[in-house]
Amino acid sequence: MIYEIEELCFSYDARFSLKIPHLEIPREGITGIVGPSGSGKSTLLMNLAFLQKGSWKSFKFCGKEVKPEDLKSLRRIVTYVSQHPILFSTTIKENLSYPLKLRRIPKDVVEKSVYKISRLLQIEHVLNSRPWEISGGEAQRVCIGRALIFKPKVVLLDEPTSNLDEENESIIEKILRDISTDTKLIIVSHNKHQIRRLCDTHFVMKNGMLLQNTQR
Q: Could you tell me if 169 and 97 lie in one domain?
A: no
Bridge partners (DSSP) of residue 96 are none
Rounded to an integer, what distance in angstroms lies between the CA atom of residue 12 and that of residue 19? 12
Q: Could you tell me if 63 and 162 lie in one domain?
A: yes
Q: Could you tell me if 34 and 90 lie in one domain?
A: no
Q: Could you tell me if 122 and 160 lie in one domain?
A: no
- Residues in Cβ contact with 99 at an 8 Å cutoff, skipping those fewer than 6 apart: 146, 149, 150
- Residues in Cβ contact with 193 at an 8 Å cutoff, skipping those fewer than 6 apart: none
> Which of 132, 151, 170 is the C-terminal boundary of a domain?
151
Number of H helices, E strands in the chain: 7, 10
How many Cβ atoms from other residues are within 10 Å of residue 132's Cβ?
Answer: 8
At position 65, the amino acid (one-letter code) is E
Q: Could you tell me if 73 and 4 lie in one domain?
A: yes
Q: Could you tell me if 210 and 159 lie in one domain?
A: yes
Q: What angle do CA 20, 194, 166 make, to 5 degrees?
A: 140
Residue 216: pLDDT over 70: no
Could you read off the pLDDT of 87-116 as tens digits, one per residue? Answer: 999 999 999 999 999 999 999 999 999 999
Count of the separate structural domains present in the chain? 2
Rounded to an integer, what distance in angstroms lies between the CA atom of residue 48 and that of residue 189? 15
* Percent helix, percent strand, percent coil in the chain, to nearest 5: 35, 30, 35
Could you read off the pLDDT of 158-214 as tens digits, one per residue? Answer: 999 887 888 888 888 998 999 999 899 999 998 889 999 999 999 999 989 988 676
Rounded to an integer, what distance in angstroms lies between the CA atom of residue 181 and that of residue 60? 23
Q: Could you tell me if 160 and 144 lie in one domain?
A: no
- What is each CA distance from 39 to 21, 32, 165, 198, in whole angstroms? 16, 14, 25, 21
Q: Considering the chain, what is the average pLDDT of its residues?
A: 92
Structure pTM?
Answer: 0.91
Rounded to an integer, what distance in angstroms lies between the CA atom of residue 12 and that of residue 40? 11
Residue range(s) defining the domain that contains residue 186: 1-77+155-216
> Which of 151, 176, 195 is the C-terminal boundary of a domain?
151
Q: Could you tell me if 58 and 109 lie in one domain?
A: no
Q: How far is CA 176 from the centre of its chain?
A: 11
> Which of 126, 151, 176 is the C-terminal boundary of a domain?
151
Q: Could you tell me if 8 and 71 lie in one domain?
A: yes
